Structure 1
Amino acid sequence: MHSQDVKYINFKRSTELKKIERLKASLHLLDVPDKPPNKHTVFVDTKKEAETFDAAKFLDTHPDLVDRVYNRPRMDTLKSQTIQTLDDETLAEIASERGKRYKELAKRIEREKQLHIIAQKMEVKKQLMDKTTKKTQVAKETTDSAAVYKWMPQRKR
């Protein structure tokens, strides 16, 4: 039964990992506060060019859109298409929906960690059932990790 339990926990963990990957792919993690800022290095030939460098002209976008990390439209796109402006209520709704999805992602990541710990603990219990090998406990079981044992080397014939 222990092997079936471990397999079931690993199955649930793999499904959580797939759901986490799907959520990460849809959210893109673009506006995460602890993400390091992107660096866009532009090389110029002279110091005069460096002093007069215009990022909006180089990136071919409107000067108000230069600071955007994503969805930075080019000038030809701005000229050819009409940009729909959103009211504050719609923006707040979108932000709250994004917040909910980030919370769901955090919960799923935490659940996957817990399933991983449970699987490790069950694996250690299964290995401890073998009474023929000598073992010493290196670290006790905690809420964050399974117990760590050191098995004495045994010659296999």
Structure 2
Amino acid sequence: MKILRNRLRLLSGDYTGLGLVEILISMLILALLAVAFLPLLLNTLQLGPKNAAIAAGNQLVADGLTRAEAQGLASCMNVQSLSSSFPTSAATTASAIEYGISVTFVPGSCPAGPLEYPSTIEVLVTAVQYAGTPNSRVLTKARQLIYVALP
């Protein structure tokens, strides 16, 4: 009779608390989930600095192209003069120093005669990480035509 009463109480949901087996099973499930997400977490930690360096390189290249466009409205010689001043000014930004990024700015040649203006010249801006070392790699590069109004 007592056994029957205990079974009826279990079936009616009249028991309280969790047993040791339920707690161990839930801990096992949580451990399996943690192990499953571990590779994703490690991959994210490895790619974070690489993506930040690429973003910094993109920003520096975009800055170079913006400065070239602004100078191109004045004259072709102004665009060409950026090649001497740009790498030093871009390399002093905090992101460039932090990620070891150097930027090269290569303008195309100006049209020969004054009758060829207005015209366009090609500009190539490249961001390289750890330039001059065996670990160097090109982060990003952009080639753009710049409108020039005067020689």
The structure that is strand-richer by fraction is: 2
- Using CA pairs under 8 Å that are at least 6 residues apart, name the structure with larger relative contact order, 1 or 2: 1
